Structure formats: C-alpha cells, structure tokens
Amino acid sequence: MKLAVIEGDGIGREVIPAALEVLDTFGLDIEKVSLELGYARWERTGAAMTEEDLDLIKECDAVLFGAITTVPDPNYKSILLAIRKGLDLYANVRPIKPLPGIAGVTGRSDFDFVIVRENTEGLYSGIEELHEDAAYTRRVITRRGSERIAAYACELAKKRDNRLTIVHKSNVIKADKLFLDVCRETAEDYGVESSDMLVDAMAYSLMKQPEKYDVVVTTNLYGDILSDMSGALVGSLGLLPSANIGEKYAFFEPVHGSAPDIAGKGIANPLAAILCVKMLLEWLGEKKASLVDEAVSHVLQNKIITPDLGGTSGTADVGHAVAEYLRSH
Ligand code: NAI
Ligand code: MG
C-alpha cells in the first residue's frame, strides 16, 4: 500500500512525525510518498499545490495529512477542497468521544457520537463570484450528494446504535429541505431510526445533552463548525481525528489547523494525528488498530500530556510514549 504523507505547515510538521512513529510500530508494508504542500511551498515556489502533486496523490491509496496554513492570496483556492474534490472524498467522518482522565468543558464523559459531514458540496462548493461591493458563494445540495452521504451515515449507524440525527436549517435555507428529505428517505430504506435538528439548536444540544446522539449527518459547513465545537466537549481540538472517505481513496487528517500560535514550540498535541493513524489502520482492516486506543489511554493515564491538556510534555514525548507502549504490547 502506498501512503502519501503531507505534513503541511505549522504544527502539521510536528504532529505528523509523531503519528508516523506510531504507524511504524505496526511494521506494515507501507510505501510512504512525502509531498510538500501548503503555505511554505507557496512562499518558496508561488504554488501551494500543482496538478502534478494531485496526480502523485492519486497514485497512492491513502493520505496522511497534517494541516496547512491558508495562503493569504485572494486568488488562492483551498488545497484541501481541491484534494477532497479531486479524490472524491465525499464523507468526512469525525468520531467524538471522551478520552480517559480528560475532562472537556462540560465535564461529561457519557457521550460517544460520530459527525458524518458531507464533504464535496454545500457552502464549500468553491463556486464563487467576487465583486467589489458584493460577493456570492453558491451553496450546492444535490440528490446524489445527499444520498451517498446519508447512505454512508446509515451504514455506520447500523454498526453502532442504529440512530441517525439529520442536522440542517431547512426552515430558512430551502436547499436544506432536499438534504433533509433525502436523508430521511435513506434512513427509512436502511431501517435506521432518524430524527432531525436545526443546526443552531443542535449546537446548543450537543453541549447540553451530547449523550443523546449516535450518528449525526450534516452538510459541509455545519459539520465543520459542529466538529470543532465538539473538540471542547472532548477537551482539546488536539484530540480529534478525522477521515475523509471516498469510493477509492481515504485521507486522514486531524480536525485542527496549523496552529501558528504554538507552531515551532514542540508543544502541539499529537494525539489527534495519532488517532488518525488508528483510523487509517481500521480502513486498512488491520485487526490491531484498537491497540492505538489502548496506548493513548495509557499515556493519558500516566499524564504524559501536552500543555493544552494541562501537562508539560512535548509533542515528541507523547509520540514516543504511545509508540513505546505499542512496541511492548
Ligand atoms: P487551529 O485549529 O489551527 O487552532 C485553533 C486553536 O486550537 C489554537 O489556539 C491552537 O493553538 C489550538 N490547537 C489546534 N490544534 C492543536 C493541537 N494539536 N494541540 C494543541 N493546541 C491546538 O485553527 P486556526 O488558528 O483558526 O487556524 C490556523 C491556520 O490553520 C489557518 O491558516 C487556517 O486556515 C488553517 N486551518 C487548516 C486546516 C487544515 O489544514 N485542515 C483546518 C483548520 C484551519
Ligand atoms: Mg475545520
């Protein structure tokens, strides 16, 4: 299997080496292809990513990605959007569950849900029109796009608690009615129990009653926002992994960005990136994937934690500790 490795910018360059150290303990036959993409590359060459890069990525089976700093150029088009579209990674899967000994803002540890975010359309369609006094971004909802994300969410719900919450804003945004209707129909076809929530009410409810939810399916922007917010439920943005899944490819990335405020200090939490490795292993069908959870629990219980969780360990210390546990188990 061929894995494209894109560290990107900022803390991406710190958390991905830690994640790779963890991946290497599994001794799998993985050929890694490193690519430099992002802001630093743009500064150096004037292009954050080229068509050739995308072709190289397409020759791989999966991608492990850190984060990139958005390029401050009005003509810049998001690399992430280009890759998600180019590889048709339509499902962004973000598991949200508490980790041992880590309290989030609500102090609760009784929740376990997954946000399944539509990843190729919605307000991130990239169809934009910019004028001096007005700017337009087209929000795209299609039956096909809604059907396949709903089907993905239902398949997942079947493996879990068989419950789906459809998050939308169809009372105001008419396009959301199509999304809602298609998700409802799909849930019925799959025999999955479904309910729906308006996105604003959902934001409130996730903070008040996160235990109520199992699989949450939503459109692109809402999923983006609700998942960062859920980072506060878990305790840190540095703890949330995500997978972008398509028919052919998979792309694993932490939910967080390049965090310029802490970049270069060696204190970024690598656990989101390390949990991405777990998701990659699961995608590969590796039976020992759950050992990563065990190793992460072990380091948390031993308080080998970075400052965002109140600790004093560095990024590399946490990576070494997780890898060490895996090497000895
Ligand atoms: P961010 O996610 O980089 O940081 C938000 C806050 O969370 C910061 O205070 C940061 O220090 C903290 N944080 C994030 N990850 C952490 C970790 N692993 N350990 C400890 N603390 C962590 O979001 P921000 O600051 O809005 O964006 C910074 C840059 O990243 C921007 O250029 C943005 O466009 C880009 N970005 C890139 C993403 C990607 O490549 N997937 C996703 C989100 C933002
Ligand atoms: Mg985001």
Strands 31-34 and 2-8: parallel
Q: Is the pLDDT of residue 126 over 90?
A: no
Any domain includes 257: yes
Q: Is the pLDDT of residue 76 over 90?
A: no
Q: What DSSP line would sit under 236-257, residue for residue? A: -GGG-EEEEE-SS-EEEEESS-
Position 75 scores a pLDDT of: 82
Q: Is the pLDDT of residue 73 over 90?
A: no
Q: Is the pLDDT of residue 25 over 90?
A: yes
Any domain includes 253: yes
Question: 119 forms bridges with which residues in the sheet?
Answer: none
Ion ligand 2: residues, Cβ under 5 Å: 224
The CATH number of residue 191's host domain is 3.40.718.10
Q: Is the pLDDT of residue 77 over 90?
A: no
Residue 201 zone, left/alpha/beta (φ > 0; ψ -120 to 50; rest): alpha
Question: Structurally, how many domains does the chain consist of?
Answer: 2
Q: Which residue has the tokens 């991905």?
A: 16
Amino acid residing at 165 = T
Position 86 scores a pLDDT of: 92
Amino acid residing at 14 = E
Position 192 scores a pLDDT of: 98
Supply 326's token pair: 């895996």
Whether residue 183 has its Cβ less than 6 Å from ligand 1: no
Any domain includes 94: no
Q: Which atom of ligand 1 is nearest to the CA of 11?
A: 18
Q: Which residue minimizes the CA distance to atom 5 of ligand 1?
A: 259
Q: Is the pLDDT of residue 95 over 90?
A: yes
Q: Is the pLDDT of residue 7 over 90?
A: yes
- Strand, coil or helix: 239: helix
Domain final residue pick, 185, 219, 235: 235
Q: Which atom of ligand 1 is nearest to the CA of 259?
A: 3
Any domain includes 15: yes
Any domain includes 197: yes
For the chain, the C-alpha Rg in angstroms (whole number) is 19
What percent of the residues of the chain are helix, what percent strand, and what percent coil, each to the nearest 5? 45, 20, 35
Share of the chain above pLDDT 70, in %: 100
Any domain includes 96: no
The boundaries of the domain holding residue 110 are 103-235
Mark whether 53 is an active-site residue. no
Q: Which of 105, 92, 326, 34 is nearest to 223 (CA)?
A: 92
Position 81 scores a pLDDT of: 87
